[in-house]
Structure 1
Amino acid sequence: MTARPKVAFIGTGGTISSLGRDSLDILDYTATGNRLEAQAILDAVPEVRAVAEVVPVAFRAVPSPAIGFAEWRDLVKTCERLAAEHPDLAGIVIGHGTATLEETAYALSLTLTVDVPVVLVGSQRPMSALSSDAGLNLVAAIRTAASPHSRGRGVLVVLNDEIQAAREVTKTSVARLQTFRTPDFGVLGHVDGASVQYYRRSERSHAPGTPFDVRALDALPRVDVSYGYADADGTAVRAFRAAGAQGIVSAGLAPGMTPPREADALEEAAAAGIVVVQSTRAGSGVVPLTTRLRERGILSADNLTPQKARILLALALTVTREPSEIARIFATY
């Protein structure tokens, strides 16, 4: 009999760990405050034992809006410890709330020090709900982490039987099960039953081996996102400057433009030494580095969403403040 692969499961809370008032509570379940730790989640889905030898790892059981840099850093160190303690570890699965799942996935894809597959998984419906997607999503994620074909692909996101790249995926719907999408490029592969199949890979660089080491950091440099809209006058940009922002990401109008007064405020920020990166609120597409942006001293976020451009800019600022080098980083990762 073939030995089952060993997969670690780190529980961070979120909908996949939540228990509502009853089986029809699929929207207001967070009001109960009931969340399962990693071992209890595995106990609720005994089918995982047929897929892998799963090692539960308690972390935090919180809603994902409460997760940020401190948790990313501690997850990096936890994954490093697990890989050292279990030389036969096939992969790591991290249970996570869907609200910030894409941000944690991208942050880890830039900062992890381990080369085993790391898969983030969540659910749209709580564990207690009628027709919850939590159990099958967890099984699919464990299968993906255990697959030797998942190595070398960076951090992966698995929900709804689909495998997505951390850099590219985004949450597109509040409640639909197919919420996680990659608008420009589509999925990497599928999990159909026991079959984990890949059809493409992301070409951008990822951890391990990046220059971003967060293990000893207390915080990242402050980077804020200024959302573009008709009549935006730069008030937010000036407030971010006053708050000590070292970088600002403009979530501009497609294809990467801002109203005149907002543009003036961004130019003033760049002239003051704040690194300004132009993204777009459109949700997909590359922001072209136009003559207007170059003349204002503003960089392009490539096709990163504003929330992911913020992460990459903050990490870039831990290693350089040179605009040309930051531009290279955005073209690399």
Structure 2
Amino acid sequence: MARVHILATGGTIAGRGATDTSSAYRPGSVMIEQLIDSVPGLASLAEVTGEQFAQISSQDMNELLWRGLANRINELFEGDAADGVVVTHGTDTAEETGYFLHLTVTSERPVVLTGSMRPATSLSADGPLNLYNAVSVAADRDARNRGVMLAINDDLHSARDVTKSSTTDVQTFISPGPGLLGTARLGRIRYFRRPVRRHTTQSGFSADGERRMPRVDVLFSHAGMHADLVRASVSLGARGIVIAGVGNGNVPGPVVNSLAEAVKSGVIVVRATRVGSGDVERGVELNDDDLGFVVADQLSPQKSRILLQLCLAHELDRKAVQDAFYQY
């Protein structure tokens, strides 16, 4: 029987409300042992163990915890202490944690994030079934070498492609563009594809604590955006700026000039888009070669920030950063 270790970080899946129908709740208040006990049939899927890695709302997730998670997962796999790992996580930043792990876990063994949109004490809580499905995927030998995944609401997403699309809908997670990796329903798993970009064992990135994750700011573009926001980021020590641009990663003219000045000072600028899907292409409307900009290709602003941080931590130059956005 496969050995699956659950790393609990808190979030809504571990939330507790005053009543079964209350909309007010406290995330991260149910411990991992209680979560495991709330899911009938887990023992039939795998030999399950649990660990309370953190107990936070996912808006408080940060780079230090990301590194700790990646290193703990790598330690479990290198010591042959688990065949698969499940991470329970709040939904707000699950896509960011998942993508960081997608780039820094060094094993082909499955890592599966899951969470819930309703707290554990809620009427019709979705957490127990999500956890059941996540464990079934983590225990599945065919889940290997698919990168880090998110199993939620019967769907199976790649951590690279998934994003949260609704503040409250149980079916909030989507993978625009590439689509689902597969489905996982009551332990029945179907795979549709494998990720084609580099991840985990093919990744050149490390979560080594010796490498400092530099500051990278995300600036949201809009009509009438002020150029002084760019100068403020640079003055506060940002080594990278990701633009959540309009359309194909665009910003107003004065902001373009400020970004070009930032590039000359050594800051790496990545043009992403605030639009929910689609590619940001080089040389469309802006001359990226002359301006020294990097384009995000398919990555969202929040995931572009993670990739850029890792690139900077590994001291990649601008050309290598652009290559990374096409490779990862």
> What TM-score, normalized by structure 1, do the two folds share?
0.94
Match of 1:29 in 2: 25
Q: Distance in 1 between matches of 2:190 and 2:226?
A: 48
1:11 equivalent in alignment to 2:5: no
Aligned position for 1:297: 292
**Partner secondary structure for residue 278 of structure 2:** coil
Q: Quote how far apart the aligned CAs of 1:22 are.
A: 0.8
- CA–CA distance in 2 between the matches of 1:34 and 1:313? 30
* Pairing 1:304-323 to 2, within 5 Å after superposition: 304-323=299-318
Offset at 1:34? 6.0
Q: Is the 8 A contact 2:111 2:149 kept in 1?
A: yes
Query: Using a 3 Å threshold, how does the CA distance of structure 1 residues 300 and 219 change in structure 2: closer, same or farther?
Result: same
Structure-to-structure mapping, 1:67-78, within 5 angstroms: 67-78=61-72
Q: 2:47 matched to which residue of 1?
A: 53
**Would the alpha carbon gap of residues 225 and 34 (structure 1) be closer, same or farther in structure 2, given more than 3 Å must change?**
closer
**CA deviation after TM superposition for structure 1 residue 147, in Å:** 0.9
Name which of structure 1's ranges 206-215 and 233-242 shifts more when overlaid on structure 2.
206-215
**Cα shift readout 1:160-192 (whole Å, capped 9, x = no counterpart):** 000000010000000101101011121110113
Q: Which amino acid aligns with 1:319?
A: H
Kindly state the Cα deviation for residue 103 of structure 1 after the two structures are TM-superposed: 0.2
- 1:68 partner amino acid: N
Give the corresponding residue for 1:175. Answer: 168
What is the CA distance between 1:321 and its match in structure 2?
3.8
Name which of 299, 309, 326 aligns with 2:321: 326
Aligned match of 2:250: 257
CA contact (8 A) 1:76 1:215 kept: no
Give the one of 116, 134, 154 matched to 2:147.
154
1:79 deviates by 0.9
Choose which of 98, 103, 107 in structure 1 pairs with 2:100.
Answer: 107
2:158 paired residue number = 165
Check the 8 A contact 2:83/2:110 in 1, yes or no: yes
Displacement of 1:296: 1.2
1:213 and 2:209 correspond: no
Give the gaps of 5 or more residues in structure 1: none
Q: Which amino acid aligns with 1:10?
A: L
Letter in 1 for 2:240: G
Write the deviation string for residues 211-247 of structure 1: whole angstroms up to 9, x where unpaired: 2222223640111101100011212211110111111
The corresponding residue for 1:43 is 37
CA contact (8 A) 1:91 1:146 kept: yes
Distance 1:192 1:44 in 2: 18
Q: Which residue of 2 aligns with 1:125?
A: 118
Instruction: State how far apart, in whole Å, the 1-side matches of 2:143 and 2:210 are.
Output: 29
Decide whether the 8 Å contact of 2:13 with 2:127 is kept in 1: yes
- State the secondary structure of the residue aligned to 2:313: coil
Cα separation, 2, equivalents of 1:63 and 1:173 = 18
8 Å Cα contact 1:212-1:318 kept in structure 2: no
Where 1:35 maps in the other structure, the secondary structure is: coil
Query: Tell me, what secondary structure is at the counterpart of 2:83?
Result: strand
Output one character per residue of 1:308-330: Cα deviation in whole Å (capped at 9) or x when no partner.
00000000012234111111111
Q: Distance in 1 between matches of 2:51 and 2:202?
A: 25
Runs of 4+ in structure 1 off by over 4 angstroms are none
| Secondary structure at the counterpart of residue 200 of structure 2 | coil
1:259-278 equivalent positions in 2, closer than 5 A: 259-278=252-271
Which secondary structure state, in structure 2, belongs to the residue aligned with residue 125 of structure 1? coil
Distance 2:144 2:125 in 1: 29
| Conserved? CA contact 1:80–1:113, under 8 Å | yes
Which of 152, 177, 201 is 1:184 aligned to?
177
Cα distance in 2 for partners of 1:77, 1:197 equals 29
Where do 5+ consecutive residues of structure 2 fail to align?
none
Aligned match of 2:57 = 63
**Quick check: 1:211–1:319 contact (8 Å CA) kept in 2?**
no
Change (3 A) 1:289 1:218: closer
* C-alpha deviation, 1:193, in angstroms: 2.4
Query: Counterparts of 1:34 and 1:71 in 2: how far apart (Å)?
Result: 15
Instruction: Return 76-85 or 14-23, whichever deviates more.
Output: 76-85
Go from structure 1 to structure 2 and tell me whether the alpha carbon gap of 1:35 and 1:226 turns closer, same or farther (over 3 Å shift): same
Q: Does 1:226 align with 2:223?
A: no
